[in-house]
Amino acid sequence: MAFNTTKCNVLRITRRQTPIIFDYKLHDRALEAVSITKYLGIHLSEDVRWNEHVRNISNKANKTLGFLKRNLRHCSASMKERAYKVLVQPTVEYCSSVCDLYTAMNIRQVEIYWEG
């Protein structure tokens, strides 16, 4: 398998105040160390908190809701509900089984979209 080193980076997952720093290389090229990265649509952070992921899915769900409100203004309630279930709900529920939304702020931010 060939790796594109420009698309690869290093995410050190730790809650230590002073993490162990080590330079990783792939094909004689040093990989960039990042604090947050997106992998399979999930924003992972080095401190294993989900704040960035929740912020991103909330923004995406909010934009989609705005689009639906503007364009389905004159449609029936059942059509609006169907559009919500097809376009907004999957965005919010994606990876919810692996995300530990343990902070009250994160839970409130996501529950807004679950309630519809």
Beta strands in the chain (DSSP E): 9-11, 25-26, 29-30, 32-34, 36-39, 42-45
Q: What is the pLDDT of residue 101?
A: 60
| Interatomic CA distance for residues 91 and 97, integer angstroms | 13
Task: Give backbone dihedrals phi and psi of 100, rounded to 5 degrees, phi first.
Answer: -100, 90
Tokens encoding 51: 């704040």
Beta bridge partners of 64: none
Per residue of the chain (116 residues), give pLDDT as tens: 788 888 889 988 887 778 788 889 988 899 999 989 998 888 888 888 888 888 888 899 999 999 999 999 999 999 999 999 999 988 888 877 666 666 666 667 767 666 65
What residue ranges do the domains of the chain occupy?
Answer: 5-45, 50-112
The pTM assigned to this predicted structure is 0.70
- Asked if residues 51 and 45 have their Cβ atoms less than 8 Å apart, the reply is yes
